[in-house]
């Protein structure tokens, strides 16, 4: 007896549904996936903007320091260990 493999789709719509209902479900799944992806992308964009603005505040703090103070900080010897 030969071994045959049949690959069925993981998410199959029930065959008992009428074609209009199947099409409506398929459209709903596609729209939901697009909406959720856009929503998650927007949320990640907001998070990245917050992190970048917080990082920028730390870098801009050095711009407010007078030149002699910056030179003193830059020439200070760092000890590791």
**Distance from C-alpha of 36 to C-alpha of 59, rounded to nearest angstrom:** 35
- Decide which of 8 and 81 is more confident: 81
pLDDT score at 63: 74
pLDDT score at 12: 66
**Distance from C-alpha of 18 to C-alpha of 12, rounded to nearest angstrom:** 14
Domain locations along the chain: 18-43
pLDDT at 8 over 60: no
pTM for the whole thing? 0.48
Spell out where the chain has E strands: none
Mean pLDDT of all residues in 47-65? 82
Confidence of residue 53 (pLDDT cuts 50, 70, 90): confident
């Amino acid at each position: 007896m030969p071994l045959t493999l049949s690959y069925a789709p993981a998410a199959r719509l029930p065959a008992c549904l009428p074609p209009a209902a199947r099409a409506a479900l398929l459209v709903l799944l596609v729209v939901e996936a697009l909406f959720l992806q856009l929503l998650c992308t927007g949320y990640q964009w907001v998070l990245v903007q917050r992190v970048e603005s917080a990082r920028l505040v730390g870098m801009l703090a050095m711009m407010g320091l007078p030149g002699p103070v910056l030179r003193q900080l830059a020439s200070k010897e760092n000890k590791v260990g």
